[in-house]
Structure 1
């Protein structure tokens, strides 16, 4: 005899709404505090985070979106240890990093990122160049010894991220993989429904020769992204080259000295005193520039022998200077003017809004604050070379050892949750897109009716609707308010008018395809719609139980 299946009803978490009885909401309350008050997370200590059922549900949804898109382009998931030995990090020169959590005894660390471990893993597994490319990703915590944690999930001592790594035979193949990942990232961020920007970026401490940041535009963001009004080129502040609309000849001119790596050339960079010099912009023109030497007196002293004909001098002028600019006196004597080369009209300082885009030399750049939520890097051999990750490759003269080209690709899962919470909140609280909402529908019952409950929850379960029943001993009004405050897209009310069911809309609409479903089924399901006072937004729907799942899913499809 087959046992009778019991009806499974999904309910709100045990501590749902616990801290809201005397809470007065204001849009001035920081989002990280609001997330804690609503029970998505708690902070046991500054920089540390506990995730609750609400937060974990969002993590799972977001992780599955990422898994789907990474799997589509041939990446395989794995999970590396969260503890790494110091030797690999000494080999790559990163053991002394200031934000590394080192364990007692200084033999191990908690991983802030996994370039060392993944390279070592692949190197030990790889048997032939024919196995390339190797593309791997993981979703797990990372750790950063942040001295001043702030912004909750945006800058803490621990964070959840997806980090992916690619291993290719050479640069050309690596760039093919890089573009595949960029394509997958576009799909991931489109799935999340929130507008985003891909911006050219500096590689920073990770290294490499090419990188892009993925941002949500928001005034609370710590990053600055510039975008051109003509060519739409986007880049962060460390990568934005610009030209002035006109030269300010009244500004004082400063000079900073650099040398090339072989110490043969003194580079003199001239720029306006009211702007910030970016040495990496000089490196665009002088690729072997040494950025490690900072003592100006020692640099000048090493070039003070005017009879040393092996020395060369390069003067490089920022584009905001003119031939009439009053340059500082040159501090050195030299025997031959042929020893000096002058480069002019070169962008050397950080851009400002309203200047001319250096990419197209036509459009005007605008600046916006942004929250970085992803980063893609082409690493080349930055990690594979010091860790001896190489394969034997056949050539015309026999086998040769070739270092592997790498890429790495990160997405901050906890950062995305925090960023979307910040971007989508309004006067009524949080508002999650259906793609990552803790659940999609809150069900509220007026009165007890066992037959009605069985009927509705069978329909919802069979229709694969992501719901939670709020059966707390509080008023219906409080349940509906707190569901909207938590950011749940829809609420269902089962009341005295059953089998007509009321659906309240909370989530934002990113499309209006539900209207086609309405026109098709409005008579069949006795479907009525109530709009707000301005007849703009649909705020309530009334539908017969037989059409409940169809209507709910059609609404959620646009949210």
Structure 2
């Protein structure tokens, strides 16, 4: 288990000289992280981590490691940042435009790893030979690289980022899905430990492959993703996987759009009709046709699709045409003209009453057919996938099964954006005075603020707190900061509990609580029980305690922050 970096006095070199209320209120989150000394951007999408940010990052890593090791039964590895071109050519991903590519002195080509399905499969197949070696779950926490054309949101979408990526290896699909479910249980614990409310949602696997995936999100208006949640059954999924129905079928009387596509054998022209102004949902179209569509041509224009159809069939007059009607349409909707001039009506098929478009708020949930959907803007911070054999088959990762036959390994992959988490939590918790980190992420749980010249009080407080909080207490401030400036800086960087001491009230000290309450406020019950014994007073939003009760009171309050 990693410990936090020690709280050296020299940390104050990264503290800002001045902080205005307008700065704290108006700066975008990424700029505020820089102003307060968490990170420093060197180029667009690239940051240098400063001691304050590194402490928060280490706390997140510690939570992930503890859960992955203890609950996930995973083994930690660390792969090379450089990945050879040959692996990515084998899986067909070398053409990805987001890869950073480079050559060594011998002209061999590599990329900086954006993810490690290729490398981990190539590594682990050296150590897996029998079903007795499986199942396995391995993970790493390392930097990843993606050549984003437009990095934005600071830590939310950078070109270099810290990621926890895990990979599972199993003998069968059933065993792989069992690991998938176990890791999702671990993820729920990780995000609960971080204390920020989260949503998990079924998701589209996208280009990474596989047929089962789940996302983890924080709800926030600045998010780039949209989640739909049913107010009745509680189903949550992203827009790509959400099926919805109109309040009344056939309610659309306006213009109709059509997207042409082809069956896998190119023998059937499939016409997907849906209301103009809505977004066609490819996943729903696939499901409505039992996945008998050629996904490789989904980005082509209608003109190109028709040309491929005509080239694939000697006489299109005798070819099959299937019309798929979104359930929002009716016979009075304004349909576009059919493009083929010669055809046999007997060769036409039709599917009605399916949903083909992205869900929108207030439509009926497709899972329960009862509740209405509510839309949330969210920030994605984690994603889990059941991959199947997409990578293991291409890279020939095999094992000998119980019947002594050679079989392909079933895989899964599981990611958490570690540096992205810090940016997301900062965005969610900040207010007009700065950040309000939970104790799980705050660079320090406690700060001790005394006026310059009263350092002896800090030493006495240190003797009390170090027995319980070790390096999780911040004592060091710039010498030029007065008491008020130190308190404001502590609040700005989001330290949950600020201890304020001065000779006037000593040996009593004052606690200002900066952190949000993420628990059930159990501290209030303990306060009622222990307030007389601990001589604990509450005046407004301030707590007054004698120095000998300080450690106990902070321990009680911090549990809910």
TM-score, normalisation: structure 1: 0.93
Shift of 1:427: 1.6
Q: 1:472 aligns with which of 472, 475, 478?
A: 478
Aligned counterpart, 2:558: 556
Alpha-carbon distance between aligned partners in 2 of 1:349 and 1:75, rounded to the nearest angstrom: 40
SS in 1 for 2:261: strand
Per-residue CA shift, 1:174-233, capped at 9, x if unaligned? 111011011111111111111111111111121111111100000000111111111111
Alpha-carbon distance between aligned partners in 2 of 1:131 and 1:50, rounded to the nearest angstrom: 40
2:533 maps to 1:524:
yes
2:351 maps to 1:343:
yes
Q: 1:59 aligns with which of 46, 57, 60?
A: 57
Q: 1:437 aligns with which of 439, 442, 447?
A: 442
8 Å Cα contact 2:266/2:309 also seen in 1: no
8 Å Cα contact 1:501/1:544 also seen in 2: yes
Shift of 1:53: 0.5
Aligned counterpart, 1:375: 383
Aligned counterpart, 1:255: 258
Aligned counterpart, 1:267: 270
Aligned counterpart, 2:431: 426
Structure 1, unaligned stretches of length 5 or more? 1-7, 532-538
Alpha-carbon distance between aligned partners in 1 of 2:18 and 2:166, rounded to the nearest angstrom: 39
8 Å Cα contact 1:32/1:153 also seen in 2: yes
Aligned counterpart, 1:536: none
Per-residue CA shift, 1:446-486, capped at 9, x if unaligned? 36467644432122111225101134322100000110011
Alpha-carbon distance between aligned partners in 1 of 2:436 and 2:193, rounded to the nearest angstrom: 16
Aligned counterpart, 1:495: 502
Alpha-carbon distance between aligned partners in 2 of 1:50 and 1:524, rounded to the nearest angstrom: 47
2:213 maps to 1:219:
no
2:410 maps to 1:405:
yes
8 Å Cα contact 1:257/1:299 also seen in 2: no
SS in 2 for 1:289: coil
SS in 2 for 1:49: strand
8 Å Cα contact 1:10/1:468 also seen in 2: no
SS in 1 for 2:273: strand
Structure 2, unaligned stretches of length 5 or more? 1-5
Shift of 1:304: 6.5
Shift in alpha-carbon separation, 1:459–1:443, aligned structure 2, 3 A: same
Aligned counterpart, 1:290: 294
Q: 1:205 aligns with which of 181, 204, 207?
A: 207
Shift in alpha-carbon separation, 1:135–1:98, aligned structure 2, 3 A: same
8 Å Cα contact 2:81/2:113 also seen in 1: yes
8 Å Cα contact 2:448/2:500 also seen in 1: yes
Per-residue CA shift, 1:66-90, capped at 9, x if unaligned? 1111112211111111110011100
Shift in alpha-carbon separation, 1:19–1:360, aligned structure 2, 3 A: farther
8 Å Cα contact 2:255/2:276 also seen in 1: yes
Shift of 1:22: 5.9
Alpha-carbon distance between aligned partners in 1 of 2:482 and 2:451, rounded to the nearest angstrom: 9
Alpha-carbon distance between aligned partners in 1 of 2:12 and 2:316, rounded to the nearest angstrom: 82
> Which moved further from structure 2: 21-30 or 434-443?
21-30
2:96 maps to 1:92:
no
SS in 2 for 1:321: coil
Q: For 1:497-516, list aligned pairs within 5 A.
A: 497-511=505-519, 512-516=521-525
SS in 2 for 1:385: helix
* Count of matched residue pairs: 541
Larger helix fraction of residues:
2
8 Å Cα contact 1:153/1:159 also seen in 2: yes
Per-residue CA shift, 1:467-523, capped at 9, x if unaligned? 011343221000001100111111112211222121111111123111233223222
Shift of 1:375: 0.4
Shift of 1:544: 1.2
Shift of 1:328: 3.1
Per-residue CA shift, 1:391-443, capped at 9, x if unaligned? 11133xxx221111111000001111111111111121110000010011111
Aligned counterpart, 1:146: 148
Per-residue CA shift, 1:329-359, capped at 9, x if unaligned? 4333667544322111111111211211111
Alpha-carbon distance between aligned partners in 1 of 2:19 and 2:334, rounded to the nearest angstrom: 67
Shift of 1:275: 1.4
Shift of 1:244: 1.3
Per-residue CA shift, 1:286-336, capped at 9, x if unaligned? 212012232133134236755775x43221111111233343343336675
Q: For 1:47-86, list aligned pairs within 5 A.
A: 47-71=45-69, 72-86=71-85
Shift in alpha-carbon separation, 1:148–1:302, aligned structure 2, 3 A: same
8 Å Cα contact 2:321/2:348 also seen in 1: yes
8 Å Cα contact 1:10/1:469 also seen in 2: no
